[in-house]
Structure 1
C-alpha cells in the first residue's frame, strides 16, 4: 500500500530517531466520491497504533454542517469497545462499521441505499490518548434523470415553426439531452436546430417529411432515461371554407335572434292590447225598447189623447167601444210592486142628454167578452 507523503515523512523521522510517534493514518483512498442514488459506498479510514497510545479508543464519524452557525451531526460512534449506530436519524439502519472490531485499525464505514440528502462532507476522528487523528471525505450522491416528458409546441402544420421539447424534472445537473429519429429514414429535419442543454429541437418551416417517431434521451454521469414522441405534420386547413362557414353560422345566428325578438315583441304587443281592452271603461248601451212597452205607451198615450179630445157627445161612444187596441202582456212585464191600472172609464150620460147636445146615434155591432164581433 502506498503511503501518503506526510506519513512517509513521519515514518522516516521515526526511523531516524529510533522510536515510534504514536497513532497514524494509513488510508490511501480518495477524498471525494461520487455515487448514484440507491447505491452503496465505503468511506475508508485505516489507522495504526503505537505502544505509546495507552488510552481508550474512540472513533467518531460526523457530517459537517455547511453553515458554521449550525452544529455538526454525529453519524456513528465507537467507544468503550462498543459501536453506536443510531445517532443520526436520517441514516438510521443504513450506516455500519466495515469491521466488526474497529480497534484493529479499520474505522471505515459503509453507507447503503444512498439518497441525494446524504451528500456532504464526512469527517472521521480517531482518539487514543495521547494520539488524535482525523480525515475528511466529500460524498456526492447523484440522482439519475427521471423519465423525461416529450411534447410538441406550436401548430403541427406545414409551413409553421414547431418546437419539440424534452424535459426531465429530477436528476443531478448537468443533464444532456440528445434527439434521434427512429422512422422515415431516421434523419432529423434539415431545418431543425438542437439545444442539448435545453432539450429542444426547433423545426422551422416544417414540411410533411418532418413527420415520424422521435426519441429523446436524458443523460448525466450516473444514468440515462428516454421518451418517445410521434410527430404528425398536417397540411394547412382550407381558410376560405372556414371563413365561409363562419359567415354562414353568424348569419344563421342573427336570423334566429331576429325571429326570437319578433315573436317576443308580437307577444308583448298582444298582451298589452288585451290588457288595455280589459281595463277600458265603456258606457252601458241602453237596451232597445220592447214592442210591448211601445205598444203600451202608444195605447196609453192614444187613450189619453182621445180622452182629451172627446167632447161630451162622444164620451158615451168611447165608454161603449171595446178596447181593441189593448195589447195583452205577460205578468212578467208588469212591475211586481204596482198592480195594473184599471182602464179609464167615462162617465155615463143619458141618451136624451146626448140628443140635446147634438150627438148622432151610431149603430155599434154586438161583441162578446173577447171583443169579437157577433
Structure 2
C-alpha cells in the first residue's frame, strides 16, 4: 500500500515538472499602452517552446469584444507556417508580424497609422499542442490636442475683470490647460485665478501692469499644443467727454438738416412766386392782331380821316374813286393771284390850282400799299 502511494506521488511530480517546462509567454512589457493617433505601436508577445510541444504552431491576435455576448475579432493569424495579415478589413495593410518567421519565438505585431477606433484590448494566443498560452494588452489610441485658440473676453480696460480663454477644439479628454506670462516679470498678476480644466484665467480689477504676452499650453497624455496672446490693458475712456462730443455731433447734424430744409422751402416758395408773376403778365397782355384786321383798321381809319377832311363839294369826286379803296372781304383776300380783280378805270387827275378854283380844299392823303398799310 505504501509502495503504490509513493509511486503515485512520483508520477504526479513528474507531470507537474513536465508541464512547467512546456510552452510559456516570456514577454514582460507593459500591459497598458497609450498612443497618439497617427503613430505606430508594437504589441509584444515573446514565447518559448518545450520538447514536449510537438504539435503545429498557431499564433492568433484578436480584438477582445467588450460585450461577452459578441465574438472576438481576429486581427492577424499565423498558421501552417503562413501569416495571414489581411484577416481584419479595418486594419488591412496596417498590421504585420514583427518577425519574418514567428516560429522562432517572436509573435509580436506592429500597428501603423493608429486610429481612435483601434483602441481596445488585444489578446495574443500561442498554441502548440499540448501547450496553450495567451497574453492581453490594453491599447488606448488618443488624439493629440489641436492648436488652441487664445483670446480675451470682455473689455480690456483698467479696473475691469478680464478673462483669458484657451480652447482646443480636438483632443482626447481629459485636456489640461496651463497659462504663463512670457514678458516682463514672467509671472501672472497677483489677482489672477487660473482654471486648469476650463482653460481660463480671470484677472480681477486689471491694471496696466497686467499687459504683456501670455502663453497657453493644452495637453493630454499623448501630446501638447500651445498658443500666444498679446494682452494690452488700456485706460478707461473719458465718459463725460464722449457724451459731450456725442451731443455736439447730434446738434450739428440737426442744424445741417434744418438749413437744408430751409433752403428747400425757400427755393420752392421762390419758384412758386415766379410762376405766379409769369401767369399774371401773360393774362394782362392782349392777343396780337392779325394782318387782315390791321389792314382793315388802317384802311377804315384813313378813309374816315379822308372823309372828315373833305368838304361836301368833294364828296362827289370821292364817290367816283375806284373800288380799290374798298376793304376786301376775307374770300377776296384769300383768292389766289390768278383771280386778282381787274385794274380800276383811269380817272383824270385834277391839279391843285384847278381844285382851288372849283371850291375844293386840298387834303394830303397818305399813301397805302396793297395790303392797306400806311407807307
- Give the TM-score range, shorter chain: 0.5 to 0.7
Moved more, 160-169 or 129-138: 129-138
Name the SS for the 1:240 alignment partner.
helix
On the 8 A contact 1:160/1:206 being kept in 2, the answer is: yes
RMSD: 4.9
Match of 2:218 in 1: 218
On the 8 A contact 2:45/2:124 being kept in 1, the answer is: yes
Moved more, 137-146 or 294-303: 294-303
- C-alpha distance in structure 2 between counterparts of 1:169 and 1:104, whole Å: 47
**1:138 to partner: Cα distance:** 0.7
Name the SS for the 1:63 alignment partner.
strand
Match of 1:33 in 2: 33
**1:301 to partner: Cα distance:** 6.1
Moved more, 97-106 or 19-28: 19-28
Structure having the higher helix fraction is 2
**1:235 to partner: Cα distance:** 0.7
Match of 2:227 in 1: 227
Match 2:300 to one of 293, 297, 302: 297
Name the SS for the 2:224 alignment partner.
strand
- C-alpha distance in structure 2 between counterparts of 1:323 and 1:303, whole Å: 14
Number of matched pairs? 333
**1:47 to partner: Cα distance:** 3.6
Match of 1:319 in 2: 316
**1:224 to partner: Cα distance:** 3.1
Match of 2:333 in 1: 335
Cα 1:200–1:296 change in 2 (3 A) is same
TM-superposition CA deviations, 1:144-167 (whole Å, max 9, x none): 433332221111111121111122
**1:67 to partner: Cα distance:** 5.8
Cα 1:370–1:245 change in 2 (3 A) is closer
- C-alpha distance in structure 1 between counterparts of 2:68 and 2:263, whole Å: 83
Match of 2:57 in 1: 57
**1:178 to partner: Cα distance:** 1.8
On the 8 A contact 1:292/1:329 being kept in 2, the answer is: no
1:168-317 equivalences under 5 Å are 168-258=168-258, 270=271, 285-287=286-288, 293-294=296-297, 296-298=299-301
On the 8 A contact 1:60/1:124 being kept in 2, the answer is: yes
Cα 1:66–1:299 change in 2 (3 A) is same
